[in-house]
Structure 1
Amino acid sequence: MRHTRAAARPRLPGSPFNVPEAPPPPVEQYAVRDQVSHDKYGLGRVVVVEENLAVLVDFGEETRRITAPYAKLVKL
């Protein structure tokens, strides 16, 4: 007895499985002396910017290094 393979089904152009992945959103750009707000640390001011890696933010009592993609950091 011989088995035959089923033909591969063609994918339709409008298929939801053919949708390409959306590119990630661009990383927020910060400059020295930008005022920012952080969910945990509160209001602060950017002191040092490491290009697309991290920012150093002075929150008054402490200075914190926040790494990209800056999920909890908002520019004011």
Structure 2
Amino acid sequence: MATSPGNKRKHLASSPFQPEPELVIEVYAVDDKVCHDLYGVGRVVGVETHAVAVDFGSRTVRIPSPYRKLQQL
């Protein structure tokens, strides 16, 4: 029986396995300087509920959450 990604199993205290770490989603604000693995250094120009728009100089890119390749400087 497969479980859906939204349903997490409860971690038992007696389990020999470590619980899965919670996914931490970064919070960005307009004018934050960021660095992307593919596009380089840029500046946040727009913030949505599940995405940010980043100006990298040559182009503006909308990056959806979770921001795995995006780091705040």
TM-score (norm 1): 0.71
Report deviation, 1:22.
3.0
Partner of 1:26: 24
Give the AA of the match of 2:47.
Answer: V
Partner of 2:35: 37
Partner of 1:73: 70
Quote the sequence identity (%). 56
Report deviation, 1:16.
1.5
Per-residue CA deviations over 1:14-57 (Å, capped at 9, x if unaligned) read: 4425x5x4352221000000000000000000000012x00000
Greater C-alpha radius of gyration: 1
Aligned pairs, number: 61
Q: Does 1:57 align with 2:54?
A: yes
Give unpaired runs (5+ residues) of structure 2. Answer: 1-12
Q: Distance in 1 between matches of 2:23 and 2:15?
A: 25
Q: Distance in 2 between matches of 1:59 and 1:23?
A: 32
Partner of 1:16: 16
Q: Distance in 2 between matches of 1:15 and 1:70?
A: 31
Instruction: State the secondary structure of the residue aligned to 1:30.
Output: coil
